[in-house]
Structure 1
Amino acid sequence: MTSTLRQQLFRVKPVPKDGGESGSTLKRSIGLFQLTLIGVGGTIGTGIFFILSEAVPVAGPAVIWSFIIAGAVAGLSVLCYAELASSVPVSGSSYSYAYSTLGELPAMGVAACLLLEYGVSTAAVAVGWSQYVNQLFNNLFGIQFPKELLAAPEEGGIINLPAVILIALCCLLLIRGTSHSVVANTIMVLIKIAVLLFFVAVGITGWNADHFADFAPFGLTGIMTGAGIIFFSFVGLDAVATAGDEAKNPRRNLPIALIAALVIVTGVYVLVAMTALGAQASGDFDGQSAGLSAILENIVGATWPGTVVAAGAVISIFSVTLVVLYGQTRILFAMSRDGMAPKIFQKVNPRTMTPVANTIIVSVIVAILAGVLPINFLAEMTSIGTLAAFLVVSIAVMVLRRREPDLERKFRVPLYPVIPILSIIGCLWIIKDLRPITIIVFAIWTVLVLVWYWFTGRRNSVLGHQLKTGMIRLVGPGKYVIEDEDAYAESMSIPVVGEGSEREGGRK
Structure 2
Amino acid sequence: MSGSAPTTAPASGWGRVMRRKPVSRLNAESGADSGGSELRRSLGVFRLTMIGVGSTVGTGIFIVLNEAVPKAGPAVVVSFVLAAITAALTALCYAELASTIPVSGASYTYAYATMGELIAFIVGACLLLEYGVAASAVAVGWGEYLNALLGDVTGWQLPAEFSAPPGEGGILNVPAAVLVTACCLLLVRGAKESATINAITVCIKLAVLLLFVAVAFTAFNAENAQPFAPFGAAGVGAAASMVFFSYIGMDTVSTAGEEVRNPRRTLPLALFWCVVIVTSIYLLVAIAGIGAQPWQRFEGQQAGLAAILGDLTGSGWPAIVLAAGGVVSIFGVTLTTIYGQTRILFSMGRDGMVPKVFHTVHPRRRTPVHNTLIVSLFVGLLAAVVPLNTLANLTSMGTLVAFTVVSAGVVILRRTRPDLDRGFRAPGGPVVPALSIAACVYLISQLPWSTYLMFAIWLALALTLYFTYSVKHSTLATGEPRA
TM-score by length of 1: 0.84
2:459 aligns with 446
Rounded to whole Å, the distance in 2 between the matches of 1:158 and 1:450 is 32
> Cα–Cα, structure 1 residues 159 and 407, in superposed 2: closer, same or farther, change >3 Å?
same
In the TM superposition, what is the alpha-carbon distance from 1:138 to its structure 2 partner?
2.1
Residue 235 (structure 1) aligned with residue 235 (structure 2): no
In the TM superposition, what is the alpha-carbon distance from 1:233 to its structure 2 partner?
2.7
1:470 aligns with none
More moved, 32-41 vs 284-293 = 284-293
Residue 26 (structure 1) aligned with residue 39 (structure 2): yes
- Whichever residue aligns with residue 367 of structure 1, its letter is G
Rounded to whole Å, the distance in 2 between the matches of 1:268 and 1:417 is 30
More moved, 36-45 vs 231-240 = 231-240
CA contact (8 A) 1:16 1:89 kept: no
2:22 aligns with 14
In the TM superposition, what is the alpha-carbon distance from 1:61 to its structure 2 partner?
4.8
- Whichever residue aligns with residue 435 of structure 1, its letter is P
Rounded to whole Å, the distance in 2 between the matches of 1:247 and 1:297 is 41
Rounded to whole Å, the distance in 1 between the matches of 2:79 and 2:171 is 40
Alignment of 1:3-152 (within 5 A): 4-16=12-24, 20-22=28-30, 24-56=37-69, 61-147=74-160, 149-150=162-163
In the TM superposition, what is the alpha-carbon distance from 1:39 to its structure 2 partner?
0.8
> Cα–Cα, structure 1 residues 363 and 419, in superposed 2: closer, same or farther, change >3 Å?
same
Residue of 416, 420, 428 corresponding to 1:403:
416
2:267 aligns with 254
In the TM superposition, what is the alpha-carbon distance from 1:161 to its structure 2 partner?
2.6
Rounded to whole Å, the distance in 2 between the matches of 1:356 and 1:311 is 30
In the TM superposition, what is the alpha-carbon distance from 1:303 to its structure 2 partner?
3.8
In the TM superposition, what is the alpha-carbon distance from 1:141 to its structure 2 partner?
1.3
CA contact (8 A) 2:141 2:165 kept: no
- Whichever residue aligns with residue 14 of structure 1, its letter is P
More moved, 338-347 vs 52-61 = 52-61
Rounded to whole Å, the distance in 2 between the matches of 1:268 and 1:415 is 27
Rounded to whole Å, the distance in 1 between the matches of 2:239 and 2:386 is 30
1:457 aligns with 470
CA contact (8 A) 2:357 2:370 kept: yes
Measured against aligned partners, the alpha-carbon deviations of 1:231-259 in whole angstroms (never above 9, x if no partner) come to 33323331111111111111111111112
Rounded to whole Å, the distance in 2 between the matches of 1:181 and 1:148 is 31
In the TM superposition, what is the alpha-carbon distance from 1:300 to its structure 2 partner?
2.7
1:425 aligns with 438
Residue 414 (structure 1) aligned with residue 422 (structure 2): no
More moved, 322-331 vs 430-439 = 430-439
1:485 aligns with none
More moved, 150-159 vs 126-135 = 150-159
- Whichever residue aligns with residue 136 of structure 2, its letter is A
Rounded to whole Å, the distance in 2 between the matches of 1:6 and 1:18 is 22
Rounded to whole Å, the distance in 1 between the matches of 2:440 and 2:369 is 35
Rounded to whole Å, the distance in 2 between the matches of 1:252 and 1:302 is 47
Residue of 360, 363, 368 corresponding to 2:381:
368
- Whichever residue aligns with residue 22 of structure 2, its letter is P
Rounded to whole Å, the distance in 2 between the matches of 1:19 and 1:222 is 44
In the TM superposition, what is the alpha-carbon distance from 1:206 to its structure 2 partner?
2.5
Alignment of 1:291-330 (within 5 A): 291-330=304-343
2:34 aligns with none
> Cα–Cα, structure 1 residues 154 and 429, in superposed 2: closer, same or farther, change >3 Å?
closer
Alignment of 1:171-320 (within 5 A): 171-208=184-221, 223-224=236-237, 226-280=239-293, 282=295, 285=298, 288-320=301-333
Q: CA RMSD in A?
A: 2.8
Aligned residues: 469
More moved, 42-51 vs 280-289 = 280-289
Rounded to whole Å, the distance in 1 between the matches of 2:78 and 2:134 is 27
- SS of the aligned residue for 1:245 comes to helix
In the TM superposition, what is the alpha-carbon distance from 1:157 to its structure 2 partner?
7.0
1:469 aligns with none
Structure 2: gaps (5+ residues): 1-9, 32-36
- Whichever residue aligns with residue 84 of structure 1, its letter is L
In the TM superposition, what is the alpha-carbon distance from 1:8 to its structure 2 partner?
1.4
More moved, 292-301 vs 387-396 = 292-301
Residue of 354, 357, 361 corresponding to 1:348:
361
- SS of the aligned residue for 1:43 comes to coil
CA contact (8 A) 2:148 2:306 kept: no
> Cα–Cα, structure 1 residues 369 and 422, in superposed 2: closer, same or farther, change >3 Å?
same
1:436 aligns with 449
> Cα–Cα, structure 1 residues 37 and 156, in superposed 2: closer, same or farther, change >3 Å?
closer
- Give aligned-pair identity as a percent: 54
- Whichever residue aligns with residue 118 of structure 1, its letter is Y
Rounded to whole Å, the distance in 1 between the matches of 2:235 and 2:136 is 31
In the TM superposition, what is the alpha-carbon distance from 1:318 to its structure 2 partner?
0.7
Residue of 341, 349, 370 corresponding to 1:357:
370
- Whichever residue aligns with residue 122 of structure 2, its letter is G
Residue of 338, 347, 353 corresponding to 2:351:
338
- SS of the aligned residue for 2:114 comes to coil
Rounded to whole Å, the distance in 2 between the matches of 1:10 and 1:341 is 17
Structure 1: gaps (5+ residues): 467-487, 494-508
- Whichever residue aligns with residue 438 of structure 2, its letter is I
Rounded to whole Å, the distance in 1 between the matches of 2:377 and 2:242 is 31
Rounded to whole Å, the distance in 2 between the matches of 1:210 and 1:156 is 32
> Cα–Cα, structure 1 residues 117 and 162, in superposed 2: closer, same or farther, change >3 Å?
same
Measured against aligned partners, the alpha-carbon deviations of 1:21-41 in whole angstroms (never above 9, x if no partner) come to 425411111111111111111
1:471 aligns with none
Measured against aligned partners, the alpha-carbon deviations of 1:112-154 in whole angstroms (never above 9, x if no partner) come to 1111111222223222212321222122112222455436899
Rounded to whole Å, the distance in 1 between the matches of 2:319 and 2:370 is 40
In the TM superposition, what is the alpha-carbon distance from 1:389 to its structure 2 partner?
0.6
In the TM superposition, what is the alpha-carbon distance from 1:376 to its structure 2 partner?
5.5
- Whichever residue aligns with residue 128 of structure 2, its letter is L
Point out the structure with max Rg over C-alpha. 1
In the TM superposition, what is the alpha-carbon distance from 1:364 to its structure 2 partner?
2.2
> Cα–Cα, structure 1 residues 142 and 333, in superposed 2: closer, same or farther, change >3 Å?
same
- Whichever residue aligns with residue 405 of structure 1, its letter is P
